[in-house]
Amino acid sequence: MAAARLVVAFLAVSSAFLAVSGQKFNAIFSFGDSMSDTGNLCVNGAPAGLTLTQPPYGETFFGRATCRCSDGRLVVDFLAEKYGLPLLKPSKQGGADFKKGANMAIIGATTMDSGFFQSLGIADKIWNNGPLNTQIQWFKQLMPSICGSTQACKSYLSKSLFVLGEFGGNDYNAMTFGGYSPEQASGQSGTIVDAIGKGVEQLIALGAANVVVPGVLPVGCFPIYLTLYQTSNAGDYDQYGCLKRFNALSAQHNQLLQSKVTSLQGRYPGARIMYADFYSHVYDMVRSPGSYGFSTNLQACCGAGGGKYNYQNGARCGMAGASACGNPAASLSWDGIHLTEAAYKKIADGWVSGAYCHPAIGA
């Protein structure tokens, strides 16, 4: 009887530990762009002129720049903390142990390979060679050190969380900065979404059974777009001050992506494929900033005080003359292009709870 009570007590303590530590997944594996890169672009030395390696980047949590495009942690960081896992190391970090997770995301990443942009005549707008397919190849190279054999990996990866994106934002950026109108860029949305769908299928073939697929953001509300494409026509803006044409492009992409996720859910009933609604959550923050603890929604926290939106290409965050606002937690936008740690924390919470992720990642 004493032995039986001891076993029961041990199981109770073990269950309590797992509940507290939140160990729902073996690991987290992330793919994407500057919304989720935790250092890949800087592993082998940051490119010249990269401002995010300078203060005040990273000041809120890390106390130093970490090659994250924010004042602190990103969504993937908060997910790792939620599930009792270490913050994700960049996959390019030599000699690292990736058994508990790895981050293949890299700043500037696109969905499409270089040939796509060459065909559109805008190859010069892509400065980084880390598209979706390349990132999946990076992950495959890590797999033997993570989980061993193909069969062992299928088992291990089925109990891990994969975050695929967001992807698409830099594809549209390249087209926009290459002279394509939002309406012209929207003609490529189907091709981009199909590529994301194929990426999901590649991960499932490797063993993934829990895949989060985020949509793109309402960039028409971002200081960089509001500054570079501002107009004198009030009809170009919605009631919250966002550029309607650019948000319409994001919304179309997301509609197609949601349909793709629904199709994949039907095709792979053994996997949990989750659509994370980046757009709606961030747009809600723009619409009701006070509800989220924000006092500013369309102005960058970090900048040189330029114009209505505190964004200047020639005086961006991390450059001479730029500085951070006194309380980044009260701002939605960090540098005019990316969000603050406070915003990313709320987004991660929304994905876990299911308020902005369907189905929920889950507690």
Q: Is the pLDDT of residue 19 over 60?
A: no
Residue 5 CA: distances (Å) to CA of 2, 14, 16, 90, 121: 5, 14, 16, 45, 72
In sequence order, what are the residues at sequence separation of 6 or more whose Cβ sits closer than 8 angstroms to the Cβ of residue 41?
47, 50, 67, 106, 107, 108, 128
Give the chain's radius of gyration (CA, Å).
21
56-97 pLDDT, tens digit per residue, is: 999 999 999 999 999 999 999 999 999 999 999 999 998 899
Q: Contact, 125 vs 174, CB < 8 A? A: yes
DSSP labels, 193-224: HHHHHHHHHHHHHHT--EEEEE----GGGSHH
Nearest Cα neighbor of 311 from 328, 329, 299, 297 is 299
Q: Is the pLDDT of residue 6 over 70?
A: no
Longest dimension (CA), the chain: 81
Tokens 């992506």 found at? 257
* Least confident range of 8-17, 77-86, 234-243, 289-298: 8-17
Instruction: State the helix-helix crossing angle for 244-267 and 278-287, rounded to 10 degrees.
Output: 140
Catalytic one of 33, 37, 171, 335: 335
Whole-model pTM: value is 0.92
Catalytic one of 30, 34, 36, 189: 34
Q: Contact, 90 vs 147, CB < 8 A? A: no
321-333 pLDDT, tens digit per residue, is: 999 999 999 999 9
pLDDT at residue 332, rounded to an integer: 98
Q: Contact, 298 vs 286, CB < 8 A? A: yes
Distance in angstroms (rounded) separating the CA atoms of residues 222 and 333: 7
* Average pLDDT, integer, range 106-127: 94
pLDDT band at 127 (very low <50, low <70, confident <90, very high): confident
253 is catalytic: no
User: What is the b/e burial string over 171-209, where b = at least 16 CB atoms within 10 angstroms of the residue's CB?
Assistant: bbbbbbebebebeebbebbeebbebbbebbbbbbebbbb
181 is catalytic: no
335 is catalytic: yes
Nearest Cα neighbor of 110 from 167, 40, 166, 163 is 167
Catalytic one of 33, 70, 250, 338: 338
Q: What is the mean pLDDT of the chain?
A: 92
Residue 100 CA: distances (Å) to CA of 78, 94, 166, 252, 318: 15, 16, 21, 35, 32
Q: Is the pLDDT of residue 16 over 70?
A: no
